[in-house]
Amino acid sequence: MTIFAMLLMALGAAFLLVAAIGVIRLPDPLQRLHSAAKAGTMGTALMLIGAILSGTVDASAKGLLTLVFLLLTLPLGAQLMGRATYISGTALKGIKDDPLDQLLDRTQDPGTR
């Protein structure tokens, strides 16, 4: 069980590394947010499950409640931050056809005028 827990924690660390590289390398705020939210959530969850299995974190209440809290709040927070970024008028790179153009009002970014 300890080896399996260590593998989960190593896989979680790899996901967190990918998330960090994505935040640094991706050009667009929405792409950086996507990288941090998806890979970061998966990496954190895998590391927490590994810690629960290794006995580092109490598996009965604290560990499972923390896992549920992370899985509920991180994607929701990322979606709200992405919506706020889009509505604020931030320049989007790599998007040719904006599917939300007719649905949401955007303020004009001063850098794109």
pTM above 0.95, yes or no: no
Q: What is the mean pLDDT of each run of 10 residues along the chain (113 residues)?
A: 92 95 89 88 92 76 86 90 84 76 71 49
At 85, give phi and psi (nearest 5°).
-65, -45
Name the CA radius of gyration of the chain, rounded.
18
What is the per-residue pLDDT for 111? 54
Domains of the chain: which residue ranges? 2-92
Rounded Cα distance between 22 and 89, Å, is 22
What is the per-residue pLDDT for 108? 62
Helix or strand holding residue 19 (H, E): helix 2-25
What is the per-residue pLDDT for 34? 87
What is the per-residue pLDDT for 113? 44
- Residue 18, Cβ density class (10 Å: 0-12 exposed, 13-18 middle, ≥19 buried): middle
